[in-house]
Structure 1
Amino acid sequence: MNAMPSLAELVDVVIGVDTHKHTHTAAVVAATTGGVLAEVTVATDPAGYDQLLRWAGGHGGARVWALEGAGGYGAGLARHLCAAGEQVIELDRPARAARRHGAKSDSLDAARAAREALGRQHLAQVKTDGPRAHLAALMAARRSAVEAATLAQRQLHALVVAAPEVLRAAFRGRSTATMTTTAARLRARPAWDGHTATTATVLRALARRVITLQAEARGHEQAMAVIVRAWRPDLLEAPGVGVIVAAQVLTSWSHPGRIRSEAAFAMLAGTAPIPASSGLRTRHRLNRTGDRQLNRALHVIALSRTRYHQPTRDYIERRRAQGKTDREIRRCLKRYIARDLFRQLEHGPQPA
């Protein structure tokens, strides 16, 4: 098999960009030598992006852009460059060189991003907008609402524990959902002292906050369901895959061809096996890197299939008979799920 050409064989220069909230710093690096040819800092607005394109045009030849944070601070620039027909690759945060006394240089980081791209064998495309971007925004909003509701529920529980007995009696033995409903209906009574009345007021406010946030989260989930069913309804037919899991998988995957192989998808999901051998004993350990939200989605699928999917239960029993531990079986199962999902995402639903 012929080796794939390196980036240095395809372009003359690589433009590394260190992205920030208000400014972006770019460095042009020669593909053959890795030397820095020029540097510039521009504002993070359309005028700044146009300035960056004009500046890049002064350093002729084939070029590629290597962006850090293409899904965050660099999203606007990535979108602008793609619209202009530029070739853009996305970098996760490159390894930083040790800095004495906390010194930092944006230009050094930009040059490091370009050299990081030159040194990598496989490069990632920038994620697309469209349905994926819609899902990403809804996922972020839903996650925030759920986390805030959970925090408010914990605060409600803590206040009930320390509340006067007249209030504690109303919540004793109740589930969290019933406690929330009860607290939302509390009203101060004339016979209560100041402490009891204040506690009741705060409990009511917390409960209503929980109810509002939960309604918001459900609204986001319903909007996500509409997008997933319109974009890739086949995912929802896979065992253990619901709307939230499907949305996370689609957000991480983005579009066909962005991830080069199912092995790369497994590495992105943190399910690729990590060798942990010693002497004559060969083992693998769980991978703690990659997209942890995607890893969590695969974990949810694995848990669901373990409980309700008979073929998965049979697979687990076969692995146990081979002497695998539960942790090793979980790693193998998540790797298997990642492989199946990637094939379905890239090529559509597979025949049974």
Structure 2
Amino acid sequence: MIVVGIDSHKKTHTLVAVDQVGKRLTQVTVDATAKGHREVCTWLGQLEQVLLAIEDCRHLTRRFEADLLLSGYAVVRVHTRLMAGARLSARERGKSDPIDAEAVARVALREPDLPKAELDGPTREVKLRSDHRRTLVRQRTAIANKLRWFLHEIDPELVVPSRGLKRLCVLDTLEADLAARCGVVAEIALDLVRDCRRLTMRINAMEAQLRQLVRELAPNLVAVPGCGVLSAAMILGETAGATRFKSKDAFARFNGTAPIPVWSSNTVRVRLNRGGNRTINNALHMAAVTQVRQDGSGAAYYVKQLAAGKTVKEALRLLRRRISPTGPFAPCWLTRPPMTASGSSGNCHRRLDIEASPSSASSCRSAGPDSVGRARRVLLRHHQARVVRHHHLAQPGRSPYSDLRLH
């Protein structure tokens, strides 16, 4: 099999083909245009069993990836941090487009589980609208901060309610008041009020569009307690399809709710993960805070962790991790039931089903507390068996989680 590494720029694309041992075979540089993309497809037709590896810079390569995928080629994405080691270990010194493309190809040979490129789906529309709405909110906040100082200069007794500059009725009152005043400051303040009105109307319209999209794509995500339309839009847009994650643990690693292992020998210790996708992490945090304020399973779990000796921050982190596999992601993971210690498929999906759909939650509650307790005990035994199997920490009379601490 031949691996072709691609180093993309705004004006050109450089492609280097290597064999199975990483030896450079040939290279080509084309323009980053539709004509150049057709030239690449013609050049690739001369090779057999080609795997394309492209540096993950989708703001530059999105159109190129789409043309390659529509032509029937398999494309994987290489994160930029993986290229540093490949470039340092290469014999050729320096940095150039062919050197970078060759490093991309060698990383694809070394890493078998790179993410595969796919055509943009409906979740990209959610991401674009969500990002654009956040940009509009930041613009309105900057204008509102400047407007408040002008209003204080015009009349210190003119009281504007907290967060009132996002309400159309307050903006109508300010516009009528400023229109009757004279001076440059009043004129500029009037323009700022109109800008706030315009941005507020666009933000409200964008939120209505997001509400319709989210309810069509992932209605069960909005049903999760504490997860509103905006949080659900951030999760959907940043996830870009839950099927690309092999398990709920892989998704937790992606969003930063899975802790980082920092242990050796027989003492299992983990620390806070400050990486991952912080946008999804922020949405999960808002959902966790909302669940703590309400009466429900989230608040009960939070109180339970506090009673077990966890701090407030640690309890919130554990609640975020508990919320992570819910919503639209649980069903695609529940299609592959995990194996219990005895080797048979267990009953350990019950807890995730409770969080995923209200109907399953009501059916589980109707079954009585004993069935729920049994499901939770099976889930705990499954996790303990998996830790023992992977980390060889089985000790008679001792739980593998006995030394687990969050730092």
Q: TM-score, normalised by structure 1?
A: 0.82
In structure 1, which of residues 225, 246, 251 is the aligned counterpart of residue 237 of structure 2?
Answer: 251
CA contact 1:66–1:114 (8 Å) conserved in 2: yes
1:21-170 alignment runs, 5 A limit: 21-30=10-19, 32-58=20-46, 60-69=47-56, 71-95=58-82, 97=84, 104-161=95-152, 163=153, 166-170=154-158
Instruction: Indicate the residue corresponding to 2:402 in structure 1.
Output: none
Structure 1 Cα separation of the partners of residues 128 and 142 of structure 2: 21
1:231, distance to aligned residue in structure 2 (A): 2.2
Structure 2 Cα separation of the partners of residues 280 and 168 of structure 1: 66
Secondary structure at the counterpart of residue 48 of structure 2: coil
Q: Which amino acid aligns with 1:113?
A: V
1:221, distance to aligned residue in structure 2 (A): 1.6
1:262 aligns with 2:248: yes
Structure 2 Cα separation of the partners of residues 185 and 167 of structure 1: 15
Query: In 2 relative to 1, CA 210–68 (structure 1 residues): closer, same or farther, beyond 3 Å?
Result: farther
1:206, distance to aligned residue in structure 2 (A): 1.7
Unmatched runs of 5 consecutive residues or more in structure 1: 1-11
Structure 2 Cα separation of the partners of residues 73 and 56 of structure 1: 20
Structure 1 Cα separation of the partners of residues 74 and 127 of structure 2: 23
Q: Which amino acid aligns with 1:64?
A: L
* RMSD of aligned residue pairs (Cα, Å): 2.8
Secondary structure at the counterpart of residue 154 of structure 1: helix
- Deviating more after overlay: 76-85 vs 88-97: 88-97
CA contact 1:167–1:200 (8 Å) conserved in 2: no
Structure 2 Cα separation of the partners of residues 285 and 327 of structure 1: 13
CA contact 1:185–1:204 (8 Å) conserved in 2: no
* Highest RCO, 1 vs 2 (Cα 8 Å, sep ≥ 6): 1
Structure 2 Cα separation of the partners of residues 345 and 242 of structure 1: 22
1:256, distance to aligned residue in structure 2 (A): 5.0
1:210 aligns with 2:166: no
Structure 1 Cα separation of the partners of residues 101 and 177 of structure 2: 57
1:314, distance to aligned residue in structure 2 (A): 0.9
In structure 1, which of residues 333, 336, 339 is the aligned counterpart of residue 319 of structure 2?
Answer: 333
Instruction: Indicate the residue corresponding to 2:373 in structure 1.
Output: none
Instruction: Indicate the residue corresponding to 2:365 in structure 1.
Output: none
Q: Count matched residues.
A: 328
Question: Quick one: percent identity of the two aligned structures?
Answer: 30
Secondary structure at the counterpart of residue 257 of structure 1: helix
1:197-236 alignment runs, 5 A limit: 197-236=183-222
CA contact 1:78–1:126 (8 Å) conserved in 2: yes
1:20 aligns with 2:25: no
In structure 2, which of residues 241, 247, 259 is the aligned counterpart of residue 273 of structure 1?
Answer: 259
1:181, distance to aligned residue in structure 2 (A): 4.8
1:148, distance to aligned residue in structure 2 (A): 1.0
CA contact 2:224–2:326 (8 Å) conserved in 1: no
- Deviating more after overlay: 334-343 vs 263-272: 334-343
Instruction: Indicate the residue corresponding to 1:4 in structure 2.
Output: none
Structure 1 Cα separation of the partners of residues 60 and 286 of structure 2: 30
1:177 aligns with 2:167: no
Structure 2 Cα separation of the partners of residues 141 and 63 of structure 1: 38
Q: Which amino acid aligns with 2:44?
A: A
Instruction: Indicate the residue corresponding to 1:6 in structure 2.
Output: none
1:279, distance to aligned residue in structure 2 (A): 10
Secondary structure at the counterpart of residue 157 of structure 1: helix
